[in-house]
Structure 1
């Protein structure tokens, strides 16, 4: 049996990081239903403290997601989940962006948007650039 999945990234500021990754990948931030959130508060299933405002909208404070513009059939959803602790060691899982002939331009765009250069990598004829997103999560661009 094959399972569907999403990739979850622990972070301090899920909405800010979701915006950054949506821009980095050319994906879309999932809209959150403000009416549904208010309804959950009114029914006592949630509190105002569990929400925040981002981009002028009421959203759940602890999570934001992005998805490929072609939908979940095209690629798994990325969920950014708030955690209290900061990242302290290298990721055990990271995303590899395949930019092909545009690699250097993509690297420069990501650096301009707040990524940090970590190092160049090589395995045989294959090369890549390892960066970190604004919260220090590694990604490679090849």
Structure 2
């Protein structure tokens, strides 16, 4: 048996709230039984990998070294949508033939949305 990616895990302060942000952003639902300590997005919908959120007392300070890269055919609309959900627009980039924007979720974790 080989190895397979099961979850992308976010250390956070409030698991249910951060899961709610990503569920709305990705147009999915927070899986049932979510609470401030543990929540998932995508399991019940059959998505893989699952996004998993865990409350931790010692969240790393500074830039996260792993982040989500998302893609959209309408980058400006998705940036506006993410901001309306509580994201902060950090900056816009155009390198190597790719245009993308970096945003921060409500707890400050960075993620990118590229033009698809």
More displaced stretch, 113-122 vs 8-17: 113-122
Aligned residues: 113
CA RMSD of aligned residues (A): 1.8
Q: Aligned pair in 2 of structure 1 residues 129, 118: CA closer, same or farther (>3 Å)?
A: same
> Structure 1 residue 109: deviation in Å?
0.6
Mark the runs of 5 or more structure 2 residues left unpaired by the alignment. none
Partner of 2:23: 22
- DSSP-derived class of the 2:111 partner: strand
- Over 3 Å off, 4+ runs: none
The structure with the greater share of residues assigned to helix is 1
Q: How does the TM-score come out when normalised to structure 1?
A: 0.73
List per-residue Cα deviations over 1:38-94 (Å, max 9, x = no partner): xxxxxxxxxxxxxxxxxxxxx55410110077513xx31011000113452111100
Greater Rg over alpha carbons, structure: 1
Q: How does the TM-score come out when normalised to structure 2?
A: 0.88
Mark the runs of 5 or more structure 1 residues left unpaired by the alignment. 33-58
